[in-house]
């Protein structure tokens, strides 16, 4: 039986896409073999890869002066690749700290450049984002990095920070493709695939062309944006299955009407779940209302001793992976694009029933 999977990542994938993958598993595009068994340099795969890129460009309306790269090493690999490609060793880079993923990006960047923390939301226990216009930016910084959606804390920027012309870098791992995005406001956008794009093993980088070609000599070739862009992301064997799968997810999104349509659905899903939490005196979400994530919804109950019971009963009801991140406890419902409204409704019904019995 398929369950509603609220995991933060790897996360639920669209059932329609999974079924298509199953139907093509042993004979992809009439070649008599699976997509995992064909050459990445063969005509069929090269065409599928180009189609995936074109569909992603269409979804996000990526301007012509941006390259789209399909890389490996996850978002964590990019934590290093970004300073290696965009900043000289003696330059300063600005980072905004809004929680767990910001912190990881900052500690990795510190190995490669001087990091100025332009804002730190510690005072609110990372339940807020900095006020627009409040960042303490460095004149001449190589770039400004922020985490638009903190997957663990469930904290999301309701605006795109202004940087006065300094390239803006965003870790969109848990929020890419959840609604329209003005790509032109960014120097670089990156996203690990395993939340809103497809299976783990692929990271998508969207980079403005003028930022390509500045990598330090010691940058690994597979993370050198210039080398990867020149090779259409096939300097070496790419993650072919992930790329193919991502392409099917892009088509699934286009078929639903693109990011305007999916954004409206996501807004409604989040509003319904936060509404249920706020209407109850039993459940609580700690995040400032204007900074609440559409994708990751943490919540707590008054008696932590009941958490195990909640999780066990939820799992028995077909609601999987609701435990909060090990660093914060409580619960977290990740409700990415592939989570249907029926999943939200089933979760809310379960929460109400649980409150009736234990509240
Ligand atoms: C999951 C996640 C990461 C880490 O991704 P990996 O692919 O495991 O390296 C980084 N940033 C954010 C915002 C994430 O949600």
Nearest residue to 295 via CA among 160, 168, 173: 173
Q: Which of 10, 11, 74 to mutate to test the pocket of ligand 1 (most atoms within 8 A of CB)?
A: 74
Residues 170 and 299 in one domain: no
- Would residue 311 count as lying in a domain? yes
155 and 245 housed in the same domain:
yes
Residue 115 located in a structural domain: yes
Ligand 1 atom with least separation from CA of 193: 7
pLDDT of residue 63: 98
Whether residue 266 sits in one domain with residue 217 = no
Antiparallel, parallel or unpaired: β 4-5 and 319-320: parallel
E strands, the chain, are 4-5, 66-71, 92-97, 114-120, 144-146, 149-150, 155-156, 168-171, 188-192, 203-208, 296-299, 319-320, 331-334
Q: What is the pLDDT of residues 247-268, one digit of tens each?
A: 999 999 999 999 999 999 999 9
In a domain, residue 7? The reply is no
User: The domain that contains 134 carries what CATH number?
Assistant: 3.40.640.10
pLDDT-flagged residues of the chain (< 50): none
pLDDT of residue 326: 79
Ligand 1 probe mutation, 10, 70, 76, most atoms within 8 A of CB: 76
Residues 148-159: tens digit of each pLDDT: 999 999 999 999
How far apart CA 104 and CA 109 sit, in angstroms, is: 9
Domain contains 135: yes
Residue 202 Cα, ligand 1 centroid: separation in angstroms?
11
pLDDT of residue 4: 98
Is residue 9 one of the residues assigned to a domain? Answer: no
Residue nearest to ligand 1 atom 5, measured at CA: 75
Q: What are the angstrom distances between the C-alpha of 1 and each of 47, 187, 208, 315, 318?
A: 35, 43, 44, 12, 9
Number of structural domains in the chain: 2
**Helices 341-358, 307-316: crossing angle, 10 deg rounding:** 130
Residues 66 and 117 in one domain: yes
Identify any residues that bridge with 207 across adjacent strands, giving them in sequence order: 67, 188
Which of 239, 255, 271 terminates a domain? The answer is 255
Q: Whose CA is nearest to atom 4 of ligand 1?
A: 75
Helix (H) or strand (E) holding 336: none
Tracing tokens 């001793």 back to the chain, one arrives at 305
**Shared-domain flag, residues 216 and 307:** no
Residues with CB under 6 A from ligand 1: 9, 74-76, 101, 147, 151, 171, 173-174, 192, 195
pLDDT, residue 1, reads 87
Judgement on whether residues 307 and 204 belong to the same structural domain of the protein: no
Q: Which domain holds residue 306?
A: 258-358
Q: Please indicate, yes or no, whether residues 321 and 211 belong to a single structural domain of this protein.
A: no
**pLDDT given for residue 329 in this prediction:** 81
pLDDT value for 134: 96
Alpha helices for 92-214 (secondary structure H): 100-109
Question: What is the atom index within ligand 1 of the atom nearest the CA of 194?
Answer: 7
> Do residues 179 and 243 share a domain?
yes
- Domain of residue 322, CATH code: 3.90.1150.10
Domain assignment present for 120: yes
Atom of ligand 1 nearest to the CA of 172: 13
Residues catalogued as catalytic: 101, 171, 195
Same domain membership, residue 291 and residue 251 = no
Answer yes or no: is 3 within a domain: no
172 with 192, same domain?
yes
Mutation choice for ligand 1 from 9, 98, 170, 194, CB with most ligand atoms inside 8 A? 9
Ligand 1 center to 281 CA (angstroms):
33
CA of residue 150 to ligand 1 center, whole Å: 9
Distance 76 CA to ligand 1 centre (A): 6
Question: What's the CA-to-centroid distance between 101 and ligand 1, angstroms?
Answer: 7
């Amino acid at each position: 039986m398929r369950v509603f999977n609220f995991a933060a990542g790897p996360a639920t994938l669209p059932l329609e896409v999974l079924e298509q993958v199953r139907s093509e598993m042993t004979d992809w595009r009439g070649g008599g073999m699976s997509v995992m068994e064909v050459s990445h340099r063969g005509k069929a795969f090269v065409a599928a890869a180009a189609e995936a890129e074109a569909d992603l460009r269409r979804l996000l309306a990526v301007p012509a002066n941006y390259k789209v790269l399909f890389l490996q090493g996850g978002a964590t690999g990019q934590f290093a690749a970004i300073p290696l490609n965009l900043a000289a060793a003696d330059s300063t880079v600005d980072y905004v700290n809004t929680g767990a993923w910001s912190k990881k990006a900052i500690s990795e960047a510190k190995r490669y450049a001087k990091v100025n923390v332009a804002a730190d939301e510690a005072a609110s226990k990372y339940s807020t984002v900095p006020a627009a216009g409040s960042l303490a930016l460095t004149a001449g910084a190589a770039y400004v990095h922020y985490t638009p959606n903190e997957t663990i804390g469930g904290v999301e920027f309701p605006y795109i920070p202004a940087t006065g012309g300094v390239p803006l870098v965003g870790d969109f791992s848990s929020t890419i493709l959840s609604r329209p995005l003005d790509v032109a406001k960014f120097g670089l956008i990156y996203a690990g695939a395993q939340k809103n794009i497809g299976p783990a093993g692929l990271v998508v980088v969207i980079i403005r062309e003028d930022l390509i070609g500045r990598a330090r000599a010691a940058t690994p070739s597979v993370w050198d944006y210039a080398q990867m862009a020149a090779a259409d992301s096939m300097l070496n064997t790419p993650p072919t299955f992930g790329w193919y799968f991502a392409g099917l997810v892009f088509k699934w999104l286009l078929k639903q009407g693109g990011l305007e349509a999916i954004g409206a659905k996501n807004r409604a899903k989040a509003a319904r779940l936060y509404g249920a939490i706020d209407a109850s005196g039993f459940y609580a979400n700690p995040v400032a209302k204007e900074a609440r994530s559409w994708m990751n919804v943490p919540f707590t109950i008054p008696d932590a001793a009941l958490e195990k019971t909640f999780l066990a009963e939820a799992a028995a009801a077909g609601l999987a992976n609701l435990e909060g991140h090990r660093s914060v406890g409580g619960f977290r419902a990740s409700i990415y694009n592939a989570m249907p409204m029926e999943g939200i409704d089933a979760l809310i019904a379960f929460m109400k029933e649980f409150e009736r019995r234990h509240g």
